[in-house]
Amino acid sequence: MRRQGNCENISESTTLILFTQKELPTGECMAIINRDTQGEALYANIGASAKISMEHMKQAEQELHFLRPTERKQIIYLEGFILPRCKELCHYMVTHYLSGRRWLALNLSAEYIVRNNFHAIMKFACMAYFIFGNGREFCALADKMGFGRDIDKAIKMIFEQHAGPCIVIITNAERGLILVSNVEYGSAKPGKLIYRHCRVDRIDNVIDTTGAGDSFVAGFLHAFLNNYKLKDCVIVGTAVAAQVVTKIGCNLPSDFNVKSITDKMKKIK
């Protein structure tokens, strides 16, 4: 099933491709927020995602033709939540899809995902162009590596084991957002390792932080694919996440348009 250009909050240049399986259930998610303690709990059933197989993917390849030529930019996005039940599928995707300017983006997703799937996480991290995670998830990764809570040592180890260009983004870290990269934009050759500590403005009217990390990733990758510099990708990502946390659930305001953010940035430049 295809829909193009008429989806809310999706730009006209975007083609939304959905592969449906009627016999499989969709996913469900429930977030519980304690207003008194500001505590949160998230319960998720990933539904059909847990059942997707290499056969489904091959069928989608034939019917939807979603892979672009390798000289065109395309991101294969892998959520850590998928790994526990779909390791074989994930291996198939990175083995068959990554080539040229088709890059892997890995989201660590949760502390328990990192701890319970450490070897798989490290395998895909060493193949990823982008690695996203929050401070707690990277602390879990560092701990499994034997570095305690030393995130810097964990990052250094990833780059030592990584064969190519890589961009690591740590959100909600104690020192603010951290961006570490050995490439500036779209290059196939890794260069000097650069650390950037990015200040993130405080959001006063936070209602629900569910999906804030995923929203940041979406904004960041949108900007990256539109040729923005890394520091500007961070600005777009944080602007999108800042809108999501002002609503219940992982939702953007109905009048939100990412183009208004990018247009404003162009005028500033």
Residues classed as catalytic: 214
**CA gap 137, 213 in Å, rounded:** 12
